[in-house]
Amino acid sequence: MRSHLLLLLSCALVLFHGEGQPVEVSELLRALDKAVGFFQREFRQLNLDGVVGFGILNAELGEALRRWPHTDHSMDANSAAHVSKVRKLMQRLDGTLQQASYTLQESDPSYFREFEPILESGFWSLPKMWNTTSPHLVYSAFQEVACFSEQLSDKCIALLLGTWKDNGTPCIVTNSCRNLMTRFGCADYSLSHQLLYFMIGQMKGCSNILQGERRGSRINMTGREYERIFCSNMMKRNVAFENSGFPVETHDIFMENIMLCGMAGYSDFYKSSWLRRILAWQDPEEGCFGRHEGLAKSRMQERKVLEIMELHKRVKRREKTLHDGCSSHMTAVAVSALGGYLDYYQTEQDVTKRPLA
């Protein structure tokens, strides 16, 4: 009996297992501790996307903390230490997020005003139920160029947020935005921003995104159905990146897909092998992501990567490489993806969500 109990306690400390080396909660929390330390040091240098990523992480930590007393591992020997660590991470994030928002407002007031709502505490909602993607929903082929520009994506999102002008009406959906955001065949950043558009609309309570649809085959489709189509194709892209050995230019979009589809409630993105991969990409000294030593070895390598990035026509808001070589956007999507793993693990361990025996 005693050996059986010890086995249960040791298994409870494991975050994900079954694919490669297991990842423990303590290991994930150490990675997040380093990332939050980076945020505290460098928040004045991060762009809006970077700050949003840490805001999402804060929401994920709060949700994980809320579920903690109801989980199988709540009585683990290390549980109290883990809970204390999460609380301290949230305290550090709370103060730094306020300072970062103020800095953004001062340095880029127009852009800050346009996306201020997504920086607010409580904007981001997390999954209450989980789904999986379907290989039957993948496109036969992806477009090789972006489906829309980042400026147009920003405009469509601002119309949903109501920030397109002072005291603007929210949940405005133009025919152009609807057609672009429901277009099939898009890849990478165009695809992830289509999903983001629907997610932001849902969080703002916009029920009119699909109203006015005139395409016969689409009239009865719901927002959730579009999200499942998008995430099924984002899964296809991630598997392709994995099969090709994770080329460096795919790291950012790979983690963005996990972050967004995880938040949309697709649990099959939380693969333990992918978690292990993300942890390996974190810079051990700075705690950030995107600080690739291999890219700095020669200008020829750097030019080659830039050429590949241009070929893929990346669509990503205002990427910023910091003075230490860290990527603001990549760090943001990485930390929010890691927070999603922790939150998902807590929901899987939540005994109150299980049927009574």
pLDDT, tens digit (0-9, with 9 covering 90-100), for 3-31: 443 333 344 445 554 455 567 889 999 99
Contact between 87 and 356 (Cβ < 8 Å): no
Look up residue 113 and give its two tokens.
Answer: 């005003």
Per DSSP, the three-state class of 294 is helix
**Cα 250–Cα 258–Cα 71 angle in degrees, nearest 5:** 150
**In whole angstroms, what is the distance from residue 327 CA to residue 38 CA?**
12
Look up residue 51 and give its two tokens.
Answer: 């700050």
Q: Where are the alpha helices (DSSP H) in the chain?
A: 2-12, 25-42, 48-67, 79-107, 109-115, 150-161, 175-181, 188-203, 223-243, 251-263, 272-281, 293-296, 299-312, 328-349
Report the percent of the chain where pLDDT is more than 70: 81
**In whole angstroms, what is the distance from residue 139 CA to residue 232 CA?**
9
Q: Residues 245-266: pLDDT tens digits?
A: 999 999 999 999 999 999 999 9
Lowest mean pLDDT among 3-12, 188-197, 277-286: 3-12
Q: Does the structure show a pLDDT above 80 at 131? A: yes
pTM recorded for the entire structure: 0.88
